[in-house]
Structure 1
Amino acid sequence: MTVVDHPSVDPDGPVAVLANPTAGRGRHRSLLAPLISRLAVAGREVRLLEAHSAEQAETVCHAAVAGGVAALVAVGGDGTVHRALQAVAGTSIPFGPIPAGTGNDFATDTGYPTDPLAAAEVIAGALHDGRSRPVDLARLTGPTGPPRWYGAVLAAGFDAIVNERANRMRWPRGPRRYDLAILVELARLRPRRYKLRLDGEPYELDAVLVAVGNCPSYGGGMRICPDADPADGLLDVVVGGRLDRRTLIRVKPSIYQGTHLRHPLVSSYRVRTVELAAEGITTYADGERSLDLPVTVTAVPGALRLLR
């Protein structure tokens, strides 16, 4: 698939910075000023984008890109990165993620330091030298509406169902809500019938877990697609078949090491395009609520230029 290059880089434009002050439960809030100072060392004007919701974050990023910027930088976790990617995907405008969230999988999997200030130094150096490198993104489309982009992993099974329940819950607050959602969905666990088409080849199977990875990790370091490479032009599809509750609980910890692929009920495929359908599943891309199934996911080589 050819990347459509919309806005081009304005070499004299500012560096736009999208910052999520609540990322990582606010623990990096005090770092914003020094982060901006490090980026300004590159000799560029730095323009802070204000956003008070996920939707507004996408709007201000699109406006900044359309208005002419030299680069876009996202300070936050995978959710903040996801919103910024919608504006720069398929363009030549370089992008830099500064990991300051609860989950920083895309930044980590594409080689940035885990320390936010160190990541800002890498990005500032790339800005100063005019250096960027291409990486792949995944393009997500449904029967209606515009396409979405993601950088890390699309969850379309048990983890997506847990996220959906947690987002509907009003109590308890914080991480305990997610823990409770896991318990509720474990009690309701059942395999669902999935229809997949992998590079045109049809499959029909029962599964409890389906993930489509451009990068290896999601959920703050869970290596669900451990062999995924965001520079190979391919997607890794991992399917956990008819896992019962006890087996899923036993397999889940091994995902952090990526050794779950050894389990006989777990399968992995490497493809360019995935068509995925099942009843009653809302997908989560980069940890953010995305499209309802059915969807088509396509690997787009070089869809993003990283400031590295």
Structure 2
Amino acid sequence: MTSDFIAVLANPSAGRGRHRGLLPGVLEALGAAGCPVRPLVAGSGPEAEQACHEAVAEGAVAVVAVGGDGTVHRALQSVAGLPVGFGVVPAGTGNDFAHAVGVPHDPLKAAEQIGAALRDQRAHRFDLARTLDANGERRWFCAVLAAGFDALVNERANRMRRPSGPRRYDLAIMLELARLRARDYTVWADGTEHTFAAEIVAVGNCASYGGGMRILPDADPADGLLDLIFAAPLGRLDLTRLKPRLRHGTHVRDPRVTVLRAREIRIHAEGIVSYADGERFGPLPIEVSCVPGAIRLLR
């Protein structure tokens, strides 16, 4: 196997297929770095992760994710905490991590910058969040971990077979709103215990999730800290009113909303399955730690 190559994980269905014809141009732009470029083949999320891990073991100098936050999430599992370079070509619906770390919106321009950064041996360090669940499994995430209403919506949507596409998520929101209730949480932030009832709870390395919902508007993926948000019980009407304000991050001005910063956070509640970067992480409790400079971003 050839070492010193660029491994490319592409999700052709990202962004609902809008960038399906993008890959040849991305591969050409990455080739400007002077290294062989190797597209990875995977038929599922776990296979994608395995392909990235194998590429790193075989000597990849960089792993490049072409897609949205889900593709980024799969690829970063193989490079977090290692000296291997990481590139993001935003081709998904949300691209929240890419926006947070200054990746160009245009996919081909992003690929050109990755190639130039490799050629010039230039990289920027950014933080990642590392989790530990009740089964002792560790994973990384780059953007936001949801542990409240949005996590419940994701879990319900994943259990539904109909309808297809975005309508399934919309229906899941309506069904979860109908049975909305505040849950009792215990959270430890750098060892300080907080107990409260809430419907919204999230931990962020970056400001937004879900394609630009700025749940933690001041979160900075280069400050060595995680941001934690929770809100006093809102009820259906006030929660519905609060959600549109997430686009601008103005919800944090509500006196019922609390935002804390910490290096290590532990969240416990009954009946909640957490989601991060849109991926299922598993039931609470979960521990989240900020790992400063865990990734070498090429841009």
Asked whether the two chains share a fold, i.e. TM above 0.5, the reply is yes
- Establish whether residue 235 from structure 1 lines up as the match of residue 226 from structure 2: yes
**CA-atom RMSD in angstroms:** 1.0
**2-side partners of 1:177 and 1:219: how far apart?**
15
**1-side partners of 2:155 and 2:82: how far apart?**
31
More off after superposition, 267-276 vs 120-129 = 120-129
Following TM superposition, by how much is the alpha carbon of 1:113 offset from its aligned partner in structure 2, in angstroms? 1.0
Secondary structure at 1:79 match in 2: helix
Query: Which residue identity lines up with residue 267 of structure 1 in the other structure?
Result: T
Question: Which of these residues, 252, 263, 278, is aligned with residue 269 of structure 2?
Answer: 278
Query: Which residue identity lines up with residue 198 of structure 2 in the other structure?
Result: A
- Establish whether residue 55 from structure 1 lines up as the match of residue 46 from structure 2: yes
1:260 aligns to what? 251
Query: Which residue identity lines up with residue 284 of structure 1 in the other structure?
Result: Y
Query: Which residue identity lines up with residue 157 of structure 1 in the other structure?
Result: G
Question: Which of these residues, 172, 181, 196, is aligned with residue 172 of structure 2?
Answer: 181
Secondary structure at 1:80 match in 2: helix
Following TM superposition, by how much is the alpha carbon of 1:146 offset from its aligned partner in structure 2, in angstroms? 2.5
User: Can you give the 5+ residue segments of structure 2 that lack an aligned partner in the other structure?
Assistant: none
**1-side partners of 2:174 and 2:137: how far apart?**
34
8 A contact 2:82–2:295 mirrored in 1: yes
Question: Which of these residues, 92, 96, 101, is aligned with residue 87 of structure 2?
Answer: 96
Following TM superposition, by how much is the alpha carbon of 1:60 offset from its aligned partner in structure 2, in angstroms? 0.4
1:44 aligns to what? 35
Structure 1 residues 167-226: Cα deviation after superposition (integer angstroms, max 9, x where no partner): 110000000000000000011110000000010001110000111000001000000010
* 1:9-158 to 2 correspondences below 5 Å: 13-158=4-149
Following TM superposition, by how much is the alpha carbon of 1:12 offset from its aligned partner in structure 2, in angstroms? 5.8
TM-score of the aligned structures, taking structure 1 as reference length: 0.95
8 A contact 2:202–2:230 mirrored in 1: yes
**1-side partners of 2:231 and 2:144: how far apart?**
15
Secondary structure at 2:81 match in 1: coil
**1-side partners of 2:186 and 2:91: how far apart?**
37
8 A contact 2:3–2:59 mirrored in 1: no
Secondary structure at 2:77 match in 1: helix
Question: Which of these residues, 277, 287, 305, is aligned with residue 296 of structure 2?
Answer: 305
User: Can you give the 5+ residue segments of structure 1 that lack an aligned partner in the other structure?
Assistant: 1-10
Secondary structure at 1:29 match in 2: coil
Structure 1 residues 18-68: Cα deviation after superposition (integer angstroms, max 9, x where no partner): 001111111101011101100011211000000110010011011111111
1:294 aligns to what? 285
**2-side partners of 1:288 and 1:101: how far apart?**
14
How many residue pairs get aligned? The number is 298
8 A contact 2:87–2:298 mirrored in 1: yes
**1-side partners of 2:292 and 2:286: how far apart?**
19
Structure 1 residues 103-158: Cα deviation after superposition (integer angstroms, max 9, x where no partner): 10001111001111111111111011111111100000012232000000000000
1:190 aligns to what? 181
Structure 1 residues 210-259: Cα deviation after superposition (integer angstroms, max 9, x where no partner): 11000001000000010000000000001122011100111101111000
**1-side partners of 2:54 and 2:273: how far apart?**
28
Structure 1 outlier segments of 4+, above 4 Å:
none
Secondary structure at 2:21 match in 1: helix
Report % sequence identity.
60
TM-score of the aligned structures, taking structure 2 as reference length: 0.98
Following TM superposition, by how much is the alpha carbon of 1:71 offset from its aligned partner in structure 2, in angstroms? 0.4
1:3 aligns to what? none
1:5 aligns to what? none
Secondary structure at 1:302 match in 2: strand
**1-side partners of 2:94 and 2:43: how far apart?**
20
